[in-house]
Amino acid sequence: MAHTETEQLNRMLQAAALSRAICTVAELGVADHIQPGAPQPVASLAAATGTHERSLHRLLRFMAGHGLFREATPGEFDHTPLSHVLRGDVEGSYRAAAQLFHRFFPGWEGLDHAVKTGEPGFTKVFGQPVFDYVTAHPEIGPILDAGMTSIHGYETAAMLDAYAFAGVRVLADIGGGNGSLLASVLQRYPEMRGILFDLGHVVGRARDTLKSLGVADRCQVIEGSFFDGIPAGADAYLFRHIIHDWTDEQSIQILSHCRKAMPDGGRLLLVECVVPVGNETSIAKDFDMTMMTFPGGMERTAAEFDALLAGAGFALTSVTPTATMVSVVEGRPRL
C-alpha cells in the first residue's frame, strides 16, 4: 500500500478546511482580540466572538499547526506573523480578503462544473455571473474593494519600482476600481495626469479615494463599460487584474476598444500574473483556478499574452517581473 502517497493526499483533501478556517476567523474577528505577545485564553476569545469554546479551541489548534496563531500555553493563543495580518487594524491587513471569500466560498462548489463545461462555476452556484451578483448586492461593493486591496495592494509599490512610467503624460486606469492604484502612480509622478474609467456604481467610491489621497485635481473620472468602448485622451492604458477575469474572446474585445482609443505611439500595460511553463508550483497557477471557477477568466503564459495582444492589434514588447507575483506586460500598437 502507498502509505506516503495516501497520507499526502489525505492532507491535500483536508486543505479545504484551512481555507475555510481563515475565512471563518476573519469574519468573526478572532485575530482582533489578541494583542501580539499577550496570549488570550480560548474562553475569552469565545466570549468575545460568540463562538463555542471547545470548537474554537479545536479550530485554532488546527490553524496553529499551519503557522496561523500559536498555542503559547494549553488553551491560550498568541499571534504569528500570518495570523497578525488577519487583524483589521494593521498595515497590509488581509482580513477583508478573507471576509470577501467568506461570502463567495460556496462558488468553489462549481469547480467541477467549470471543468466539465468551460463555464464559470460561480454562475452555476449563485445563479448569475460574479460581477452581476456584486451589482445586485451593493453591500458587497465595499467588501470587494477592500478585499482586492488586501490581495493586490502590496503589488503597487513593486510595480512602480520595477516599471518606469517616465514619459507618460496621461495614464488611463481601465477598470480602476476604488482608485487606489491610479492615485499611487500619480503620487509617484507629480507631472502625470490620470483618467479613471469604471462602471457607474464603482466610480463614486473612486472619487472619494482620489480626493482623500490628494490627486482628484489631476484625475478625470469617467463612467462606462469597457465592453462598449474605452475613452480616448491617454497615451498609456493600464489594466491591473482586469484581463484575467475574461475569456480570450472577451479580452480581445476589450483590448480592441483600447487600440481604437490609443494613439499609435501609446502603451498598453497589463499588470497580471504570468503563468510559468513547467511543473513547479506557482501562485499564478493557484489564482488560475480562482479565475476559472469564479469569473470564468484565466491567468496566462507569456505566449498566451503574445497571442492575445496580437488578436487585438498589439505587439508584445516586454514582460517586466516585479518583486511580487505580478509582471507588467507591455504592448505597443501594430502599425
> Quick check: is 244 catalytic?
yes
Distance CA 144, CA 163 (A): 27
Distance CA 180, CA 183 (A): 5
Contacts of 295 (CB under 8 A, 6+ apart): 120, 122, 129, 130, 131, 245, 246
Phi and psi angles of residue 226, each rounded to the nearest 5 degrees, phi first = -70, -5
Contacts of 299 (CB under 8 A, 6+ apart): 244, 272, 273, 274, 275, 284, 285, 287, 288, 291
What counts of helices (H) and strands (E) characterise the chain? Answer: 15, 10
Rg over alpha carbons for the chain, rounded to the nearest Å, is: 22
Written as one letter, the residue type at 329 is V
Residue 215 CB-density burial (10 A; 0-12 exposed, 13-18 middle, 19+ buried)? buried
Distance CA 272, CA 310 (A): 17
* Torsion sign across C-alpha atoms 121, 124, 127, 129: positive
Dig out the grid coordinates for 197 from the structure.
Answer: 474609467
Task: Identify the active-site residue in 57, 84, 244, 257.
Answer: 244
**DSSP code of residue 13:** H
Catalytically active residues, by annotation: 244
